[in-house]
Amino acid sequence: MKLKISLVSLTSCSGCISALMSLDIFPEVIERTAFIYSPLIADYEKFEECDITFVEGCVSDEPEIDILKNLRKHSKKLYALGTCAAFGGILSLSKKQGAKAISNFIEIDGIIPGCPPPAHLLGNIIMRLIENLDLELPIRNLCATCPLRNSLDLNSDINISKFIPELDEIVPIEEQTECFLKQGILCLGPITREGCELKCIKLGIPCEGCMGPVSKDFTSNVINFLSLTNLSGNLRKYKGIFYRFSKPLLRGW
């Protein structure tokens, strides 16, 4: 019997489900499973019992909590698809709108991080779940595979004065010779999970942390990491360092 799959969006851009549907293996996924609920694909009237539910998007309004609880009640397995569902996401930067990870309200069976999840990682995870295998995520940080890692001397002072490079400083990886941190540009690679295939770094942009932490809480990791650097005064006042992608604001409804 085919696995019954549901795809559900909360507050999101629908990018994560779109990434799933854009996979080269998606036709095989359709062939091997039965999609019983996905408003993005078809006009379904109600949510039914299913084997696996993927939820993208953060919780930003009370009605979404009831939706989540109903999904959990009728799903054998439920996974947070993408950074918003897993950690709160980019909406966490909003001063007017709350953003919380779905695990704040229900028990989940795992996360698939990324904004959106990288194709190779997402495809492998989906196939493992279809084959009734456990979800596996990379266990190393982004620096483990970064070609610029050897240019940084961890025994020397790390002075950070920029959040992103200037426009004329953005060059592809082939033209880079030094780690962003050595250039005085904040890169969260040391505390961010690998698996994104270095897409930003290859384009000359430092890691901003969309894959989330390898372990524990993102904010505590950021604080511990920044304590090892000399951070400029203007960056110390920027809360986006702590909340972008991976840490929702803690506020009531």
d(CA 59, CA 248): 10
Residue 248: band (very low, low, confident or very high) from pLDDT cuts 50, 70, 90 = very low
Region 246-253 average pLDDT: 43
Residue 243: band (very low, low, confident or very high) from pLDDT cuts 50, 70, 90 = low
Burial of residue 13 (number of CB atoms within 10 Å: 0-12, 13-18, 19+) = middle
In the predicted structure, residue 250 carries a pLDDT above the cut 60: no
170: left (phi over 0), alpha (psi -120 to 50) or beta: beta
Q: What is the pLDDT of residues 118-147, one digit of tens each?
A: 999 999 999 999 999 999 999 999 999 999
d(CA 9, CA 117): 15
For the chain, give every domain's residue range: 3-130, 142-243
Task: For domain 3-130, give the CATH number.
Answer: 3.40.50.700
Bridge partners for 54 per DSSP: 7, 79
Q: What is the pLDDT of residues 167-197, one digit of tens each?
A: 888 888 888 889 999 999 999 999 899 999 9
DSSP labels for the chain?
A: -PEEEEEEESBS-SHHHHHHHTSTTHHHHHHHEEEEE-TTTS---S---EEEEEEESBB-SHHHHHHHHHHHHTEEEEEEESHHHHH--GGGG-SSS--B-GGGTS--SEEE-SSS--HHHHHHHHHHHHTTPPP----SBGGGG-TTGGG--TTS--EE-BSS--GGG---GGG--S-TTTTTB---GGGBBS-STTHHHHTT-----TT-BSSS-HHHHHHHHHTTSEE-HHHHT-THHHHTTT-------
CA distances from 7 to 16, 44, 249 (A): 10, 11, 26
Q: What is the pLDDT of residues 40-88, one digit of tens each?
A: 777 777 788 999 999 999 999 999 999 999 999 999 999 999 999 998 8
